[in-house]
Chains A and B, each alone.
Chain A
Amino acid sequence: MKRFWGFVKKEFFHIFRDVRTMIILFGIPIAQLMLFGTVITNEIKDAHLAIYDQSKDEVTQEITAKLLSSGYFILDQYLESTEDVEAIFRKGKVKEVLVFEPNFAQTLEKEGKANVQVIADASDPNMGKLLASYTSGIINDYILKEMGELALPMQLEPEVRMFYNEGLRSVYMFVPGIMAMILMLISAMMTSISITREKELGTMEILLVSPLRPVQIILGKVAPYLALSIINALVILLIGHWVFGVPIAGSWVLLMAESILFILMALCLGILISTVSKNQMVAMFISMIALMLPTILLSGFIFPIENMPVPLQIISHLMPPRWFIVILKNVMLKGTGFLYVWKETLILLGMAVVFTAIAVRKFKMRLE
């Protein structure tokens, strides 16, 4: 036991004395969280809007005011002719143009309908679609409320509510994803690098000829990173909750317990990587290519798994973060208890056991 603690102490020296390790451990997670949380977003906020109003009556002005006060749009400028539309899109700043036909209010009153054209810049298709639907939503809303007495023909009005994320805020989705990615990256990459570093510097040779058992070496390597990753997980949750307002509807204890399980699984994976890589470069490469990209692409973090081609869907089952993200979303957003995530928990546990078994078996007692 004393040997083990001696080893852990030495590991902490390595970690705290290496500036780069410290940055990777604590700087990068926070920076990434802030970046993903604020920069990458598919919500509409302050989109630039240009209006070609050929009517300039009170109805068109009211609609314009309504759009601008929604917070989604800000007025860039009024256009004077249809030619201006294309010119202004070319400049790139304006994302949508609204065209009201002449005599808008009159036509509306006389014929019961009037034309307004919504032209969106679809060079970013999702954005274009969103803008158009937001605009038509606001206009419809206005017509319904203001022109109620118009006695429109019979119509169905679906009342939509977005459960668990009423404001459709993307940060709700990103925080669990980032958490999975960061824990995976740090735990797996840092352990694999720290073990391969010993191989590279030749100190593994001395450790091997010492009476330390492989289990002691492995656990001694894992323990410090486990402690630091738990701190990381907590920091991410706190930032997510207090800075980005992500709700934590379920129990904190369950959330942390699941996180620790995921961290353990990632650490085992890191050891496994270290047993197959000769030096730090290879370990880093495997961690980056084999862990980072699949975590981002195949875990459902950014792209919905349901929309993937079937072979990729099958591969995504092998991605540990996929299951962890499901657990996180359930516990954080829906507030479900363990009974709803036991299947995913079991899968993660199984993966951890398998990785450990392979890693211990593959850990070499000798140099070859």
Chain B
Amino acid sequence: MIRVNNISKSYKDVQALQRISFEVQEGELFGLIGPDGAGKTTLMRILMTLLLPDEGQAAMHGLDVVRDYKEIRQLVGYMPGRFSLYQDLSVEENLAFFATVFGTSIEENYALIKDIYQQIEPFKKRLAGKLSGGMKQKLALSCALIHKPKILVLDEPTTGVDAVSRKEFWDMLKKLQTQGITILVSTPYMDEAGLCDRVALMQKGEILRIDPPEQIVANYTRTLLAARSTEMHRLILDLREWDSIDTAYAFGQFAHVTPKKEGLTAYELERYLKTKNHQQLQVHQIAPGIEDVFMALIVGNEE
């Protein structure tokens, strides 16, 4: 459904994308995961025909993003990273406007947006600028869906949205997927990666790996330990000082530790930390999450 082949793009002094290639199957929920500046937005804009790639080709539904941009614009729904609706128009007026622009009407495609739109319908007379973050996203999604697109491209749709709304939003995406819509979504949140069918981990304009989220985790074979004490900052500094340790990062309440040699046990680590006078130590081995894999990949890539 989406085919990207060796796409490169650079701005004045920044290489935003370096020979990116991947494919998204029909009906797939595909995630682009990576920190700010990884090139996710640039890639999406190229696919949305808003930017021209320096090199390479890309096709949406078999249509070339440079040559057939007019056709593509008809069949793709797009939600940019920033809230891009008219703040001085009401919920209903926004939706009606985008429906007319795409040559359809709210009634015609109401079935598709019903689940989402119903949640904001009580506020349909309210100006879009006065909605909460979660409601804005729902409205933006409704507007992007109003013309029944075959492909949906969402640029960081959950950034700046509260946790409950985020979960609701992903539930909506899952539902849309069952209706046969191919979805390409980007996010800086690693926990959302697990909700995609497949994810591409991006960093500095390159794709580090493309796999289903389970696979990405399963392929990660290194030992991972978690540790905590009363003084987390000093704990991490101490860990990084020890030459048996490769990396140590703070992950919520714990520090995730990757040892240099495989087989370093929780017991050995605890013993080392005790010599450094840490109180209330908790150390245990853990299964890696997608975040751990990503951190390891980034470190590997930088070296």
Inter-chain contact B101/A3, CB cutoff 8 Å:
yes
Tell me if A243 is interfacial: C-beta within 8 Å of chain B.
no
Contact in complex: B69, A365 (CB < 8 Å): yes
Interface contact B49-A211, CB-CB below 8 Å: no
B49–A210 touching, CB < 8 Å: no
A7, A17, A211: residue with the most chain B Cβ atoms closer than 10 Å: A211
Q: How far is the CB of A8 from chain B (nearest CB, A)?
A: 11
B84 near A206 (CB under 8 angstroms)? yes
State whether A202 touches B103 (Cβ < 8 A).
no
Q: Smallest CB–CB gap between A190 and chain B, Å?
A: 15
Query: Nearest Cβ in chain B — how far from A224, in angstroms?
Result: 14
Beta-carbon nearest neighbor of A14 in chain B: B88
A205 to B76, CA, bound (A): 13
> Assuming A3-B103, A211-B73, is B48 touching A203 (CB within 8 A)?
no
On chain B, the residues within 8 Å of A206 by CB distance are 78, 80, 84-85, 98, 143
Q: Cα distance A277–B101 when bound, in Å?
A: 25
Distance in angstroms from B228 CB to nearest chain A CB is 42
**Is A13 engaged at the interface, CB distance under 8 Å to the other chain?**
yes
> B24-50 toward A: CB 8 Å interface, digit per residue (1/0)?
000000000000000000000100111
Q: Could you pull out 7 A-B pairs where Cβ atoms are within 8 angstroms?
A: A2-B103, A6-B101, A14-B88, A206-B78, A206-B84, A206-B85, A212-B101
Interface check A201, CB cutoff 8 A: yes
Q: Is the CB of A10 within 8 A of B51?
A: no
Measured in the bound complex, the distance between the Cα atoms of B62 and A233 in whole Å is: 52
Interchain CB contact (< 8 A) of B86 among A6, A10, A210, A367:
A10
> In the complex, what's the smallest C-beta–C-beta distance from B126 to chain A, in angstroms?
13
- A-side contacts of B45, CB under 8 Å: 367
Distance (whole angstroms) from the CB of B127 to the closest CB of chain A? 8
B 50-72 to A, binary, CB cutoff 8 A, 1 in contact else 0: 11100000000000000001100
With both beta carbons as reference points, the residue of chain A lying nearest to B99 in the complex is identified as A6
* Contact present for B84 and A10 (CB under 8 Å): no
With A205-B80, A366-B51, A367-B50 as known contacts, state yes or no: A13 contacts B89, CB within 8 Å: yes
Chain B interfacial positions (CB closer than 8 Å to A): 45, 48-52, 69-70, 73-74, 76, 78, 80, 82-89, 93, 96-98, 100-103, 143
Inter-subunit contact B52/A366 (CB<8 Å): yes
Instruction: State A211–B48 Cα separation when bound (angstroms).
Output: 12
A10 and B93 contact, Cβ closer than 8 Å, known pairs A18-B88, A366-B50, A368-B51:
yes
Closest residue of chain A to B75, judged by CB? A211
- Are the C-beta atoms of B93 and A13 separated by less than 8 Å? yes
Least distance between A29 CB and chain B CB atoms (Å): 23
CA distance A206 to B48 in the complex (A): 10
- Nearest Cβ distance between residue A351 and chain B, in whole angstroms? 31
Cβ of A361 to closest chain B Cβ, rounded Å? 17
Q: Are B52 and A209 in contact (CB under 8 A)?
A: no
User: Which residues of chain A have C-beta atoms less than 8 A from B52's C-beta?
Assistant: 366, 368
A6-B96, A206-B80 known; 5 other A-B pairs, CB under 8 Å?
A: A9-B97, A13-B89, A202-B83, A206-B84, A207-B101
Interface string of A1-35 (1 = CB under 8 A from B): 01101110110011001100000000000000000
Of A5, A13, A209, which one neighbours B50 at CB under 8 angstroms? A209
Contact B49 A209 (CB under 8 A): yes
Return chain A residues, CB-CB under 8 Å to B80.
202, 205-206
Q: A208: CB under 8 A from chain B?
A: yes
Select from chain B the residue with minimum beta-carbon distance to A7: B101
Contacts of A209 in B (CB 8 A): 48-50, 73, 76, 78
Give bound CA distance, A5 to B96, whole Å. 12
Interfacial chain A residues near B48, Cβ < 8 Å? 209
CB distance from A30 to the nearest CB of B (A): 25
A9 contacts which chain B residues (CB < 8 A)?
Answer: 97
Q: In whole angstroms, how far apart are the Cα atoms of A211 and B78 in the complex?
A: 12
One digit per residue, 1 when the CB lies within 8 angstroms of any chain B CB and 0 when it does not, for chain A 183-210 equals 0000000000000000001110111111
Q: Which residue of A lies closest to B45 (CB)?
A: A367
Residues of B within 8 A of A203 (CB): 84-86
Whether the Cβ atoms of B102 and A366 lie closer than 8 Å is no
- B84 x A14 contact (CB < 8 A): no
Chain B positions within 8 Å of A205 at CB level: 50, 78, 80, 84
Query: Which residues of B are found within 8 Å of A202, using beta-carbon distances?
Result: 80, 82-84
User: Is the pair A211, B86 in contact by a Cβ cutoff of 8 Å?
Assistant: no
CB neighbours (8 Å) of B85 from chain A are 203, 206
Residues on the A chain within 8 Å of B76, using CB: 209
Compute how far the CA of A203 lies from the CA of B88 in the bound complex, rounded to whole angstroms. 12
Residue with the highest number of chain A CB atoms closer than 10 Å, among B52, B74, B101: B101
A367 and B74 contact, Cβ closer than 8 Å, known pairs A13-B88, A202-B84: no
Q: Which residue of A lies closest to B143 (CB)?
A: A206
Q: Which partner residue on chain A sits nearest B144 by CB separation?
A: A206
Q: Give complex CA distance A202, B86 in Å.
A: 9
Q: Which of A202, A203, A209 has the most CB of B within 10 A?
A: A209
Give me the 4 closest cross-chain CB pairs, A-B, nearest first. A6-B100, A202-B84, A202-B82, A367-B50
Partner of B97, one of A10, A18, A208, A365: A10
Considering only CB atoms, which chain A residue lies closest to B101 in the complex? A210
Shortest Cβ gap from B123 to chain A (Å): 17
Q: How far is the CB of A110 from chain B (nearest CB, A)?
A: 84
Cβ A210 vs Cβ B50 within 8 A? no
Question: Is A10 within 8 A of B103, CB to CB?
Answer: no
Query: Which residue on A lies nearest to B66, using beta carbons?
Result: A366
Complex contacts, A5 vs chain B, CB 8 Å: 100
